[in-house]
Chain A
Amino acid sequence: MRTITGVLLMFYYVPTADHAYASTQYIIHDVDYGWFLLGYHFWGSSAMVICVFAHMSQVFLWGAYKKPRELIWLVGLALFAIVMGFGFTGYLLPWDQRAYWATTVGVEIMDKMPLLGDFMSRFLKGGPTPGQMTLSRFFVIHVMVLPAALIGLAGLHLFLFRCAGPAGPFRGTPVELKAKTDYFFPRQIWKDVVGMAVVFACISALAFWEPVVLLEEATPDPGDYHPEPEWYFLFLFQHLRLKMFSGEFGQFLGSMLLPGLLGAVLVLLPFFDRNPERNIFKRPFALIGWVVLIVSILLFTVSAIINREYLD
């Protein structure tokens, strides 16, 4: 769906600094059902993030990343990164204030990466500050590079899954499992279709009742706008407000070291967690780690929302 709506948007969208905003406004206000397609695309990206996150949690809690499925887990992490990448690059495309500032801050954070940071941020911006080159680059990444990577890696993900077979529930003897095992068609397909219909209905409802509204066109002067990223990046944004992450070193700690460590732990997870036990209630560290992560993400997200009120 994301691809279909994305391609449809491209019929009208122009990725230039002087027309991106106007063309998006045109999609929203003039093109028949443009508001719906854009809304669907926009809310779909949230749905995608939720689904991917839920899926990762399930895999984690069910211990399905363990041998022999290490590679599937790694490819899955890459897919997660790609989905977040879609969200980050897509956000700039309408070229409104929200877009501009989310990108400005996001890229400044990337700049803090050791060694490669300056190069990476200039590479993405296509210059010292965000402008036309940034828009072109984000556009190409959003509609060409990431979709290609997504298709390739999703294929690999499924292929590896077919090789290793599903992990299944962690309880039950082989005999019980056999009795519950079913073919992919028709029952699994049926469940999937129902699931998809529910997701489709949710996204459509959101697109309908909460259509995308653009702020003013992007300029390096924020006016009265208080920059804030999309909700799924909010917790990252909020935790940088903490005292502990102040100053140059704190900043590095909060924006690079901590997320980097988390990433590294996730990547290495199937390799140091070699215990074949899959039942989550017998893996206290994994359970605690997961709960702590979720709770802190929720806390930061909620506190970011509460903080909004103090700003006006």
Chain B
Amino acid sequence: MQPQLKSKVRCADREVGEVAKVIMDPLSHEVSHLVVSMNGAGERQVSMGAVQTVTDDLVQLRSSSSEVMALPPFKREDYVTLHEVEIPGLERHIHVTPGEVLVPFPDLERNVKRRKFFANLTYVTGLFIGLPLAFPVLKYLMKPMYAPLDNRWLKIGNIGKVKVDDAGTQFKYKRNVKEAYMPEAEIEKNVWLVKATPPVLEKVYQGKDMEFRDATGKAIWTNKKDMPYLAFSGKCPHLGCGYKWRKHKILGQVFLCPCHLSIYDASGKVLEGPAPRPLDLLPIQVSPSGEVQIIDMEFKAGTKSQTRIV
């Protein structure tokens, strides 16, 4: 049986105090000493050799109380707790109620005067390994994130498809994309074309031509204010779903997005729903033979202002 913390300690003549700490031997895994708290008269370290019997709540010593008092006071600095060192397997040999279980501070380590310094040095070395890795790893992961904008004109079909004024007609087109290592692939996209009457045009352009610029600010195209064809990006400016030209019970023919029910009129203006800005107009040109070309642009959804991302 191992002595328990808080057990009373009795000497040959009288009770002297209680067990305050136990000290384990890191090699034999046995309890080697008790630290006895002497009823207010300091602490003494008593070897297990002096112990006669151990019961649940009592440790009986062979020596007399004066002999114990005469021992030198306990030196806490010479020991470390089990929280500070890790000794494999020691835990299994401890049968004391949890509390202060000590082991001798190893000589080798005690002579290391600059523990703090070495601890810090360890962190610095860790940083030294970690930091140079952090940047490359970040860059590695970021590689495809910022693709340059693409200002090619894409043919999307013939304007003959547009039959009615001020109504949306969907043009589907294919766009070739080459992503990283993937073979070039075609993705399907769509825009909505509107042949606008002058009042609608006026609503859209408000008497001014619309200029498109690239990332550096260089002008790439101007939509003339009296050119009747409007091309709206197929992406809903609310959160990016695809919307449709369809009939609404009250508002008549409108662009309606099924996701969160944003509704736009033929000029792209928001009539109802959560969208923060009108539909996005794209650069458009129509050749004399009716061939429609656009620049496929995409803008960030959910913001009042346009931020181009494709």
Which A positions have Cβ atoms within 8 angstroms of B?
A: 16-18, 101, 104-105, 108-109, 111-112, 118-119, 122-123, 125-129, 131-133, 219-222, 226-228, 237, 240-243, 245-248, 250-251, 255, 307, 311
| Cα of A123 to Cα of B187 in the assembled complex, Å | 21
Bound-state CA distance A245–B276 (Å) is 10
- Whole-angstrom CA separation of A127 from B144 in the bound complex: 5
Instruction: Name the residue of chain A whose CB is nearest to the CB of B183.
Output: A18
> B179 to A105, Cβ gap below 8 A?
no
From A17, A226, A255, give the contact of B185 (CB < 8 A): A17
A237 surroundings in chain B (CB, below 8 A): 259-260
The answer for the CA separation of A247 and B304 in the assembled complex, in Å, is 7
Query: A251 touching B274 by the CB < 8 A rule?
Result: yes
Say what secondary structure dominates the interface of chain B.
loop
Contact A220-B187, Cβ < 8 Å, known A108-B302, A123-B141, A133-B179: yes
If A109-B239, A129-B298, A221-B242 touch, does A245 touch B188 (CB 8 Å cutoff)? no
17 A-B contact pairs sorted by A residue (CB < 8 Å): A16-B182, A17-B179, A17-B185, A104-B241, A108-B301, A111-B301, A128-B309, A131-B179, A131-B187, A132-B179, A221-B189, A241-B274, A247-B274, A248-B303, A250-B274, A250-B276, A251-B238
Contact A241-B261, Cβ < 8 Å, known A123-B141, A131-B177, A247-B274? yes
A132 near B239 (CB under 8 angstroms)? Answer: no
What separation, in Å, do the CA atoms of A131 and B234 have in the docked complex?
17
Q: Quick one: which of B106-158 are within 8 Å of A by CB?
A: 141-142, 144-147
B180 touches A132 (CB 8 A): yes
Query: Is A246 in contact with B239, judged by CB distance below 8 angstroms?
Result: no
| B190, CB-defined interface residue at 8 Å | yes
Residue B240 is within 8 A (CB to CB) of chain A in the complex: yes
Contact B182–A129 (Cβ < 8 Å): no
Residues of chain A with a CB closer than 8 A to B258's CB: 226-227, 311
Q: Are B274 and A128 in contact, with the CB atoms below 8 A?
A: no
**Is A128 a contact of B188 with CB atoms below 8 Å?**
no
Question: Does B172 count as interface, using CB distance less than 8 angstroms?
Answer: yes
Is the Cβ of A122 less than 8 Å from the Cβ of B302?
A: no
Nearest B residue to A229, CB-CB:
B259
Taking a contact as CB atoms closer than 8 A, the residue among A129, A227, A248 that contacts B259 in the complex is A227
Chain B stretch 255-310: residues in CB contact (< 8 A) with chain A:
258-261, 273-277, 298, 300-304, 309-310
Q: How far is the CB of A240 from chain B (nearest CB, A)?
A: 5
A128 touches B310 (CB 8 A): yes
Q: Give the chain A neighbours of B274 by CB distance below 8 A.
A: 240-243, 245-247, 250-251
CB-CB under 8 A from B259, the residues of chain A are 101, 105, 226-228, 237
> Given the complex of chains A and B, what is the CA–CA distance between A153 and B234 in angstroms?
42
Q: Provide the residues of chain A in CB contact with B188, threshold 8 Å.
A: 219-221
- Is the Cβ of B304 less than 8 Å from the Cβ of A105? no
Contact (Cβ within 8 A) B145 A127: yes
**Residue ID in chain B nearest A312 by CB atoms:** B258
Q: Are the CB atoms of B276 and A18 closer together than 8 Å? A: no
Given A128-B298, A248-B304, residue A123 in contact with residue B142 (CB < 8 A): yes
B-chain residues with CB within 8 Å of residue A101 when the two chains form the complex: 241-242, 259
* Alpha-carbon separation in the docked complex, A247 to B302 (Å): 8
Supposing A112-B302, A221-B234 touch, asked if A17 and B182 sit within 8 A by C-beta, the answer is yes
A185 to B298, CA, bound (A): 60
* Further pairs besides A221-B190, A247-B276: 18, Cβ < 8 Å: A16-B182, A18-B182, A108-B301, A112-B302, A123-B145, A125-B145, A127-B144, A128-B147, A129-B298, A131-B179, A132-B179, A220-B234, A226-B259, A237-B260, A241-B260, A243-B274, A248-B303, A251-B274
Within 8 A of A (CB), among B162-189: 172, 177, 179-180, 182-183, 185, 187-189
- List the A side residues contacting B179 at CB < 8 Å: 17, 127, 131-133
* Residues B260 and A240 in contact, CB atoms below 8 Å apart: yes
Residue in B177, B242, B301 whose CB lies within 8 Å of A222: B242
B36-70 Cβ-contact flags toward A at 8 Å (1 or 0): 00000000000000000000000000000000000
Instruction: Give complex CA distance A251, B183 in Å.
Output: 38
**B238: which A residues are within 8 A, CB to CB?**
251
A71 to chain B, nearest CB (A): 18
Interface-central residue, A118, A119, A133, by most chain B CB under 10 Å: A133
A101 to chain B, nearest CB (A): 6
Closest residue on chain B to residue A218 by CB atoms: B187
Judging by beta carbons under 8 Å apart, are A122 and B145 in contact? yes
Judge whether A248 and B276 touch: CB under 8 Å: yes
A-B pairs, top 9 by smallest CB distance, nearest first, are: A222-B242, A246-B274, A226-B258, A128-B309, A248-B276, A219-B188, A122-B145, A241-B260, A248-B304
- Minimal beta-carbon separation of B188 from chain A (angstroms): 4
Least CB separation from B298: chain A residue: A129
Instruction: Point out the residues of chain B lying under 8 angstroms from A129, CB to CB.
Output: 298, 309-310
